Amino acid sequence: MAEPLILALDQGTTSTRAILFDLSGKALGEAAIPLAQHYPADGWVEHDAIEIYEAAVQVMNQAVAAAGRRMDEVATIGITNQRETVVLWDRHTGLPAHRAVVWQDRRTAARCEALRLEGAEARVTDVTGLLIDPYFSGTKLAWLLDNVPDARTRAQAGDLLAGTIDTWLIWKLTGGASHVTDATNASRTLLFDIRAQVWSDEMLALLDVPRAILPEVRDCAGLFGETLPDLLGRAIPICGVAGDQQAALMGQGCIAPGQMKATYGTGCFLLVNTGGSAPKSGTRLLTTVAARIDGQATFALEGAIFIAGAAIGWLVEGLGVESPAAAEALARRARPDNAVILVPAFTGLGAPWWDAEARGALMGLTRDAGLPEIAAAAYDACAYQTADLISAMRSDAPEAFGAGSELRIDGGMSRSPWFAQRLADLTGQRVARASYEETTALGAALFAGLGAGLYPDLAAAASARPTTEPADPSFSDADRAAGQARWRDAVRRVLSHDGAPAL
């Protein structure tokens, strides 16, 4: 009998992708379709939910065909998704009441500021682990209810449903039979009590969101429903769901406390597994659900870097460097005593600084500094921001960091062994570079395989993670400390407020 296969659906911000995996974690075939972006007003970002659904069906069929396999070999489907994007739809027609409001959207900034001025943030953080910010789903959903004609009336009459992209896709794929989400996606809404693992009546009242429109919250691994037979040629159970960063955490095998991963794309998301403890951050990191298996939640601290690979893009687009490869070649020629610091606060600074008004700066220039030194500073900025996040995480959850911890990295910048070594040198942390970059899709597949009983336990599923290439720190502690001190001095010079964390 042929080995069962797992189909992962990775619905992201700019594309919808499907990858077919075997049980060893090997990718057999894939397909992707770009996703149109809609910008109806300054700071607003929307997606067409129907376009997302139709693309999902197409890429799942195409990925299996690209592998030269049959759909009857697919044992289960795993779904991962852009986390905070929210959809409101009619439960009778299956049509969206409005385009999906994307995680990047800032239309609820004034509402969030009003809630902060009312003193609500401390309680919101206690319950949800999050900060009050337009990034999260709750205020977006409240906006839809308040601004789509008759939405509140229809919601109260039981005619509307809501959910993040995973919920929308499952509802459509199952023909409306399953209105569900998983605990990782629920934990990004501002509406979920992460310790009680239920929708919070207090948060629902604060944002005026009716409970009836929200999905049932389930474990990451288990049955979410079956696809309609005519979509993929047969009914296939959906047995795994997780938000994109938590799926990548699983795809990197970070299932024990202290294990951490960073994904380096345009920005960077760094998560550290804190086990069964949901620490309250004193450095304004996010506390989020890492996974929920057999009813038991594990947690993670999460920090976001706004500008990572985008700093290399700035070298190319802003300073005329030929390509990212040319930028790395320049950086590798920089003077060994280079003291140039780039603070890439092009759109503000993320965790742990959280200063939307900060702006970028280039410091430490001397007459002998040139493009190589500036290029090196762009790469170093990614490493220094990572070091800040790791320091904040150690402060918030020291018990999660044992001896021999390593930072597992993926994403576009992780392709470079040189960057991985630089990251290790400037953070003082062992870095393990993944041999396979699509760890988000892989994580969804592993959750699905666990939920379908294809793996006997979580450890067996995580063992299918990609191999890694290690890079150990080579700098002296004194040299590393001097560089970090220059970086933090530069950051404090660009901050618009005095609330810098003590790192």
- DSSP assigned state of 22: -
Give the tens place of pLDDT for each residue, 139-150: 999 999 999 999
Per-residue pLDDT at 239 exceeds 90: yes
Q: What percent of the chain has pLDDT over 70?
A: 98
Among candidate residues 348, 393, 437, the one with its CA nearest the CA of residue 135: 348
Per-residue pLDDT at 338 exceeds 90: no
**24 Cβ contact list (under 8 Å, min separation 6):** 464
Read off the pLDDT band of 42 (50, 70, 90).
Answer: confident
Give the tens place of pLDDT for each residue, 271-322: 999 999 898 888 889 999 999 999 999 999 999 888 888 888 899 988 898 8
User: Which whole number is the average pLDDT over 470-482?
Assistant: 91
- Predicted confidence at residue 28, as pLDDT, reads 97
Cβ–Cβ under 8 Å, residues 264 and 252: no
- pTM for this model (two decimals): 0.90
- The torsion angle over the Cα atoms of residues 409, 268, 261 and 188, rounded to 10 degrees, is -150
Cβ–Cβ under 8 Å, residues 127 and 203: yes
Comparison of pLDDT for 351 and 428, the residue scoring more? 428
Read off the pLDDT band of 199 (50, 70, 90).
Answer: very high
Comparison of pLDDT for 338 and 201, the residue scoring more? 201
- Which residue type does 263 have? T
Read off the pLDDT band of 1 (50, 70, 90).
Answer: low
Q: Which residues face 9 on adjacent strands?
A: 18, 79
For residue 2, the tally of other CB atoms under 10 A from its CB is 8
Per-residue pLDDT at 250 exceeds 90: yes
User: Which whole number is the average pLDDT over 445-469?
Assistant: 94
343-347, 422-426, 456-460: least confidently modelled range: 343-347
For the record, the structure tokens of 421 come out as 């070594």
Per-residue pLDDT at 353 exceeds 60: yes
Place of tokens 């709750």: 138
Per-residue pLDDT at 362 exceeds 90: yes
Per-residue pLDDT at 497 exceeds 60: yes
Give the tens place of pLDDT for each residue, 94-122: 999 999 998 888 889 889 999 999 999 99
Place of tokens 């660009």: 494
User: Which whole number is the average pLDDT over 410-430?
Assistant: 91
Cβ–Cβ under 8 Å, residues 434 and 409: yes
Per-residue pLDDT at 500 exceeds 90: no
Mean pLDDT of the chain: 92
For the record, the structure tokens of 74 come out as 């697919």
- Predicted confidence at residue 160, as pLDDT, reads 96
Q: How far apart are CA 101 and CA 99, in angstroms?
A: 6
What single string gives the DSSP state of each residue in 274-287? Answer: EET--PPPSSSPEE
Give the tens place of pLDDT for each residue, 44-100: 889 999 999 999 999 999 999 999 999 999 999 999 999 999 999 999 999 999 999
